[in-house]
Amino acid sequence: MKTYIFFLYSCFTILLFPVHAQDKIGEISVHPIEHATFMLTWKNKLLLFDPSTDKERLNKLKSPDIIFITDIHGDHFNISSLKNVDISKSTFIVPPVVAEQLPDDLRQKAHILKNGESANIAGVKIEAIPMYNLPESADAYHTKGRGNGYVVSLGGQRVYVSGDTEDIPEMRTLKDIDLAFICMNLPYTMTIKQAAEATLAFKPRIVYPYHYRGQHGKSDIASYKQLVNEKDSSIQVIIRDWYPSKP
């Protein structure tokens, strides 16, 4: 039986994240940091996604157990940012294209996953999911097979992190997703309408719009929420500011 999921906004994150609030969802705590960068905590395990932001946002974090990187673009994979993270106990989960660009010391800490592959690291089941632009083309911002989205199983809850993608069939056919992080920024990924239609197709219990800054500013995530809830009010869309002022 699925773990009962509830939402509780808390202000106590100052103990770990001096400038960020957290959301408590079942046994998972969600810590937005900036753009594509965020952290999940679960049973004393820390999972950091796409650490590519200011030093001040990263150097106060405890050492993550697992660091996920989705793609080679600078807002997801940034060696300079990684130097500001305590990686003393971290395992990296990366696609092959990222592994090729890791320095030797970090590559030794990396577990490489291609689309469709899975692993179990420190009791966390991880599945690598495709992420790419439509229509597929060799000169797309994100070509199929290069980067990874991820489905991460934390106890009885399944978490989907889209990475940079459009509303691809592999997203639309996901099953039993409790918590999802969905990108929406032009021209790199998808419109809020595409994101809403994909969300309605795979019906996560809870969804965060994230990674929503594009060439012409931020996507209208409030309208995304409206598009989703007009057709399915059971999907909880959580709006947070993923672009806080400089620390």
- 28-84, pLDDT tens digit by residue? 999 999 888 999 999 989 999 999 776 677 778 889 999 999 998 767 788 888 888
At residue 17 the predicted structure's pLDDT band, cuts being 50, 70 and 90, is very low
- Rounded to whole angstroms, the Cα distance separating 134 from 153 reads 27
Non-local (6+) Cβ contacts of 90 within 8 A are 48, 63, 64, 65, 66, 67, 109
pLDDT bucket at 210, cuts 50 / 70 / 90: very high
Distance CA(76)–CA(193), nearest Å, equals 24
Label residue 166 by pLDDT band (50, 70, 90): very high
How confident is the model over 88-136, as pLDDT tens digits?
A: 999 999 999 999 999 998 999 999 999 999 999 989 999 999 999 887 7
Instruction: Find out whether 41 and 29 touch, Cβ atoms under 8 Å.
Output: yes
CA atoms within 13 A on the CB side of 105: 6
pLDDT at 151 over 90: yes
Measured distance CA(211)–CA(229) in Å, rounded: 20
Contacts of residue 15, defined as CB under 8 A and 6 or more positions apart, other chains included, come to none
Identify the pLDDT of residue 246. 66
